[in-house]
A and B are shown apart, each in its own frame.
Chain A
Amino acid sequence: MYTLKIRRFDPESREAAYWKDYEAELPPERSVLDGILQIKDREDASIGIRCSCRAAICGSCGVKINGRSALACNTRIGDAAERARDGAITVEPMGNMPVIKDLITDMEAVHWKKVRRVTPWLLPAEEPPENQEYIVPAEAMLDVTQAMACIHCGACVSSCLSMEVDPEFIGPAALAKAYRFVGDPRDGEHRERLEDLAEDPHGIYDCTHCFACVEVCPKDVAPMDQIMRLRRRATADYEIKDENNGYGHEQAFVNIIEKWGTLHEAQLLPRSFGDGSLVKGQLRPSGAKQLTENLPTVISGLRSGKVKVRKALMHPKLPDQKQVRRIIKEIETKDERLELNLYIIGEEAGEPGATPVEEEPFTSEGRA
């Protein structure tokens, strides 16, 4: 017997949302969705939930279980009970989107609108070959298979901590979808797509790198990793010097590590505002403006005694800094970037007893 504490809301009743406890009786390996459907069947048919395939394929039954975004059909009720507080499994509608009724959220208002924002279709470079299909080498598509696994359940959108404070953030699902085309060799507008997403203040540089979407995705799409791939393409391949300092921040960081080996925080800000360059960051008007905005923080840091003027100006190099510099140079001057995607090779590959991967195990991303 399991207790499910379900969040109820009916806009027509004109009453505020409330929690109500229900009992479900089924074995622990059955799903939370099975529990809800049993309650609907036996106790209260008015509970609203969207569901269809019951097998984590259609992506309809996204909810929050014990506060965590998940598919109800993909969560064992026994496991949910173990993580439940006070013995009751809480089930509530997904976050970051309006609620239509009970556990049903408005996917159109947030999720689909954002997906459409990224032009979710192929924009080929040229006319399709006549009377035949596009031929793409299978390896060229490996890189986007992870993004293609998305079933649009909205779990990542629901958990997104950036969207929580900035509802305009394009968000994890839509940006993963964007990578699906930026990583597709048939698409002819990679640069335009990346420029658009890099310059949008709510685009790829509005992701706070919190892993919430990676944690909840039932299909291991790892949307945040796809956002990082978009950033990598935008900076390393297309050198898009965006107004949001995305390019600047990345360059600043790498340049600092190349010079000193550890992070020289005092230079991160001015360099970020100048595409990685300290001088540029201080001289260009936008850099100077942003530095002024940060002045109160600098002053309170100095006043507290945690930041010393000397420390802000001087930063020691590592004893073997030439080794760090050599490694950076060796890797940065390679013709192709190496990327090991555990989604493709399997996370268990390296564990004892697992079959070692014999073939070329990693994919290389070509440079533009």
Chain B
Amino acid sequence: MKLAYWPGCVSRGFTPELHGSVAKVAPLLDLELVELDRANCCGAGVIAEHNQELVDALNARTFAMAQDVQEAAGMMNICSTCQGAQSECQSRLDADPGYRAEVNSHLEPEGLSYQTDQRWWNKNFLWILVEEIGLDALRAKVQRPLEGLRLAPFYGCYIVRPSKRLGFSDHPDRDRYLDWVIEALGGEPVDYAGARKCCGFPVITMNRATSLRQAGRHLADAIDAGADALVTPCPLCHLNLDLQQPAAVQYVERDLGIPVLHLPQAVGLALGLEPKELGMDKHVVSTRDVARKVSQLAAA
């Protein structure tokens, strides 16, 4: 399947292991990715709060570039926040032709234009796994079932709320996909309070206590539920849950120390890739124990 691919900013910035693992995993899933290397930041909710027309124009620009990729089935993103921020813009662009024309006028000098098309979509890697590849096909590709690995899903707010704007009317189970994928990979999804809560990242510069209390609490809940690691489709959540984890300790007043995997890393492990190939040595919280468990798993 050929896809226009928007990697986002953070996967090429502070979580390079995410970008790298998608590059490794995609061919194993028969995904041909055409990277949109001229596209801009989605605004991550911040530009939306600053100026709505601006964020809509910036994302219309990305969509227009994706629509220009010949024979692509759609556009793929690898970040819950990109998904939510872009879906929000898309819903406004699609709702009103007059508004769309106004926004498109800013793209004209570049020869770009976003067209509303019921068949065109922008989906996170998680949605593509379930809806385009399919769980049975994914299961069939698993080389090394993650047996005995207890993985706590962490969805990221932007990919589950508001459900109205995120296609839940056609796909009502999108807030369960991460659990399903973990299961399909042979792992055991962990049930805990934080799975669909906020990692706190958006306020890390504005209210450090609120931000790190959130991150710390969800990490603690996952540890108490017996998880070996968290798995997330959102690199911004990864920043608050992994990079900031040592700092979160003081806000929850207890030990933490649980690794946080990017979704494509978890998929990669099950498809037979080695932790190092997936950049798992590039995390702040050591993934050593997960790597050791994986190395003890027999190939299927």
Residues of A that sit less than 8 Å from B by CB: 161-162, 164-166, 169, 201, 205-212, 214-215, 222, 228, 231-232, 235-236, 244-246, 248-250, 253-254, 257, 261-265, 268-269, 272-273, 293, 296-297, 300-301, 303-307, 311, 315, 318-320, 323-324, 326-328, 330-332, 334, 337-340, 342, 345-347, 349-352, 356-357, 361-362
**Is there contact, CB below 8 Å, between B106 and A244?**
no
User: Inside 8 A of B44's CB, which chain A residues have their CB?
Assistant: 253, 263
Q: How far is the CA of A175 from the CA of B1 in the complex (A)?
A: 46
* Contact A249 to B205, CB < 8 A, known contacts A319-B38, A350-B116: yes
- Give the Cβ gap from B219 to chain A, nearest Cβ, in Å: 13
A-B contact count (CB 8 A): 220
Smallest CB-CB A-B distances: 6 pairs: A211-B161, A263-B9, A210-B198, A350-B95, A165-B213, A272-B205
Contacting pair A169 B210 (CB below 8 A): yes
Please give, as numbers and ranges, the residues of chain A lying within 8 Å of B208 by CB-CB distance. 293
A320-B38, A327-B107 given. 16 additional CB < 8 A pairs? A166-B209, A169-B210, A206-B203, A209-B45, A212-B157, A212-B198, A215-B161, A228-B49, A232-B50, A244-B207, A249-B46, A305-B282, A323-B61, A338-B99, A346-B95, A357-B98
Stretch of B21-29, B51-59, B127-135, B291-299 that contacts chain A: B51-59
Which residue of B109, B161, B202 contacts A212 across the interface (Cβ within 8 Å)?
B161
Which residues of chain B are within 8 angstroms of A297 by Cβ–Cβ distance?
A: 243-244, 246-247
Q: How far is the CA of A214 from the CA of B160 in the complex (A)?
A: 12
Inter-chain contact B40/A324, CB cutoff 8 Å: yes
Cross-interface CB contact of B51 among A205, A232, A307, A349, cutoff 8 Å? A232
Q: Does B214 contact A (CB under 8 A)?
A: yes
How long is the Cα–Cα vector from A231 to B203 in the complex, in angstroms?
Answer: 13
Residue B68, interface by CB 8 Å: no
A304 to chain B, nearest CB (A): 5
Can you name the residue of chain A whose Cβ is closest to the Cβ of B210?
A166
Does B284 have its Cβ within 8 Å of any Cβ on chain A?
yes
Query: 6 A-B residue contacts at CB 8 Å?
Result: A161-B197, A162-B210, A215-B161, A222-B162, A262-B40, A350-B116
> Are A209 and B157 in touch, CB under 8 angstroms?
yes
Contact partner of B52 (CB less than 8 A), chosen from A327, A339, A352, is A339
For B14, the closest partner residue in chain A by CB is A265
Min distance, Cβ A208 to any Cβ of chain B, angstroms = 5
Q: Could you tell me the dominant secondary structure of chain B's interface residues?
A: helix
Output the nearest chain B residue to A354 by Cβ-Cβ distance. B95
- The answer for the CA separation of A79 and B157 in the assembled complex, in Å, is 23
Q: Are B14 and A246 touching (Cβ within 8 A)?
A: no
Chain B proximity of A260: nearest CB distance (Å): 9
The size class of the interface chain B forms with chain A is 35 or more
Tell me if B254 counts as interface (CB < 8 A to partner A). no
Q: Which residues of B contact A235 (CB under 8 A)?
A: 50
Residue B69, interface by CB 8 Å: no
The answer for the CA separation of A144 and B154 in the assembled complex, in Å, is 35
A211 to B168, CA, bound (A): 15
- Is A362 touching B38 in the complex (CB atoms < 8 A)? no
B9–A328 CB distance below 8 A: no
**Contact status B51-A337, CB under 8 Å:** yes
Say yes or no: A201-B61 contact (C-beta < 8 A), given A236-B51, A305-B282: no
Picked from B13, B116, B246, B283, the residue with its CB within 8 Å of the CB of A296 is B246
Given A265-B10, A304-B284, A331-B57, A345-B91 contact (CB < 8 Å): no
Contact call A206/B96, Cβ cutoff below 8 A: no
In the bound complex, what is the Cα–Cα distance between A212 and B197 (angstroms)?
9
Give the nearest-CB partner of A297 in chain B.
Answer: B247
Q: Of A201, A215, A300, A328, which is within 8 A of B246 by CB?
A: A300
Q: From B43, B84, B99, B106, give the contact of A330 (CB < 8 A).
A: B106
Q: Which of B40, B244, B246 contacts A257 (CB 8 A)?
A: B40
Residues from chain A with Cβ under 8 Å of B92 in the complex = 340, 342
Interfacial chain A residues near B203, Cβ < 8 Å: 162, 205-209
Q: Check: B41 CB closer than 8 A to any chain A CB.
A: yes
Contact of A208 among B94, B107, B198 (CB under 8 A): B198
**B58 and A362 contact, CB distance less than 8 A:** no
Distance in angstroms between the alpha carbons of A346 and B84 in the assembled complex: 20
Query: B206 contacts A300, CB within 8 Å?
Result: no
Most buried by B among A222, A248, A262: A262
Question: Do the beta carbons of B197 and A231 come within 8 Å of each other?
Answer: no
Partner of A323, one of B41, B109, B198, B202: B109
Give CA–CA (A346, B166) in the complex, Å: 16
